[in-house]
Structure 1
Amino acid sequence: MSNPPTEFYSEERWQNWIDRIKDEEIDPEDESSARLLLNLQDDTAIAIAKIVAAYDDGQLDDEEALAEIADVREIVLSEVDVEDEEKLILVDGVQTSLVCVFFAAEEYVAGGPAEEGSIADYLGAAADAEAEEELDAALGYAAQAGTLIIDGNDLDIAIAEELEYGLVTEWINGLDSLQSAMSDPEVVEEDE
């Protein structure tokens, strides 16, 4: 059994991404700007995928895995020091997308993958709950969909196109990053 990495993610790593966003002209319509934001999101999802993989391989027990997830969540969801209002909104969007990734990973470690239902079922239920303004329930359903993604089921991103834009579609965006990370947990190079 190999030893797990001593650090899955660091504050410095997150800050490097934030500094890049601060330094660059960001236009969400521009492909390189969109890619920078997606890389920021994917990089975090990869860290979570690696924690879950280390847990699945028995390198971390559930308490250690949950603590590692909590550490990454604390770094990524903390308030960001960006003065540019537009950039702040974009980073906030990435943070919102990742909320579901953290919950899905915690749910997976604590209770395994959802027993019944498909990813589409859970995301449909999440969208219904969001429409009723039951946001905790919506997040719970979206996280269940995430446990299935971690377990190897495929998310059809077209689901998001059928839903009204809102938190659930943001979370699906994060789950899509998680799915990519689970299938190819290669580190996103910060200087790409």
Structure 2
Amino acid sequence: MPEQEMNQVPPYEFYTQKRWGNWLERAKESGFQIKESEEEAGKESAVFVNMVDDVILACLKVTARFEKGMLSREKALEILAEIRDIVLAEVEPISEDIDLMIESVQTSLMGALVAFESYIMGDYDEEANIEELIKLAIEAEASDNLELALDYTAQCGALVLKGKSLPEEVMADLPYGIVAEWLDGIDSISAAMVGSDSYKEFEEGDEEDII
């Protein structure tokens, strides 16, 4: 499909400010408290997992259309940037515990978003070893080089989007830190891709999943 035709595709709202605002409202209504019983905390924390999954599904729809030639690289990156601006914007304080969870959600989404960007830009080596990239990311974080750590994380995510798997043993033994949270976002991409491929087939007028 010629470049000019790609960019003439009728507008489809992959993600909106209203949608994010609805999730924030759900988070507020959950009354989540970290000190609740494990069972109750698990039930109330589901909203935060769903927040992440919803954004990732929107990004997967972008990559699916890019892969089909329905979006140019430039347009796909532009849409991802719009999603990034929405979900990583500063959020008005709600409560200490909910604020911590939203901050964690945004950190995970940062890892996911750079992965999508890296994949669409083709800014990764298809033959690279994910386990080695994770190790390099952790080492970069330990050296306070977060920019480099994020770059390695992005490459991990691009490989996952290409069809590779995250090494379970390495993921289970990740040291606590920002790389671990970024990789949570990558893990969410992997889970979404395994869970369903419905994001590959959708119509311009689809509204069944609008919240």
Q: TM-score if structure 2 supplies the norm length?
A: 0.82
Detail structure 1 runs of 4+ shifted over 3 Å in the superposition: 1-5, 185-191
Q: Distance in 2 between matches of 1:16 and 1:157?
A: 33
Q: What is the match of residue 18 of structure 1? A: 24
Q: Distance in 2 between matches of 1:40 and 1:159?
A: 25
Equivalent residue for 1:142, pick from 142, 145, 153 = 153
**Structure 1: which 5+ runs fail to align?**
none
Classify 1:95/1:127 alpha carbon distance in 2 versus 1 (closer, same or farther; 3 Å). same
Q: What is the match of residue 192 of structure 2? A: 181
Contact kept in structure 1, 2:33 and 2:97, CA below 8 Å: no
Equivalent residue for 1:126, pick from 137, 149, 168 = 137
Q: State the one-letter code of the partner of 2:127.
A: E
Q: Distance in 2 between matches of 1:123 and 1:4?
A: 39
Q: What is the match of residue 78 of structure 1? A: 89
In the alignment, structure 1 residue 32 sits paired with structure 2 residue 43:
yes
Equivalent residue for 1:111, pick from 122, 137, 140 = 122
Q: Distance in 1 between matches of 2:168 and 2:64?
A: 23
Q: Distance in 2 between matches of 1:114 and 1:90?
A: 33
Q: Quote how far apart the aligned CAs of 1:106 are.
A: 1.0
What SS does the corresponding residue of 2:119 show, helix, strand or coil? helix
Contact kept in structure 2, 1:42 and 1:181, CA below 8 Å: yes
Q: What are the superposed Cα offsets for residues 119-139 of structure 1, whole Å, 9 maximum, x if unpaired?
A: 211111101111111110000
Q: TM-score if structure 1 supplies the norm length?
A: 0.90
Q: What are the superposed Cα offsets for residues 79-104 of structure 1, whole Å, 9 maximum, x if unpaired?
A: 11232122111100000011111111
Contact kept in structure 2, 1:105 and 1:146, CA below 8 Å: yes
Larger Rg: 2
Q: State the one-letter code of the partner of 1:38.
A: V
Classify 1:74/1:147 alpha carbon distance in 2 versus 1 (closer, same or farther; 3 Å). same
Q: Quote the RMSD (CA, aligned, Å).
A: 2.3
Q: Quote how far apart the aligned CAs of 1:113 are.
A: 4.3
Contact kept in structure 2, 1:46 and 1:185, CA below 8 Å: no
Q: Distance in 2 between matches of 1:173 and 1:34?
A: 15
Q: What is the match of residue 100 of structure 1? A: 111
Q: Distance in 2 between matches of 1:110 and 1:78?
A: 23
Contact kept in structure 1, 2:123 and 2:155, CA below 8 Å: no
Q: Distance in 2 between matches of 1:190 and 1:59?
A: 22
Classify 1:139/1:179 alpha carbon distance in 2 versus 1 (closer, same or farther; 3 Å). same
**Structure 2: which 5+ runs fail to align?**
200-207
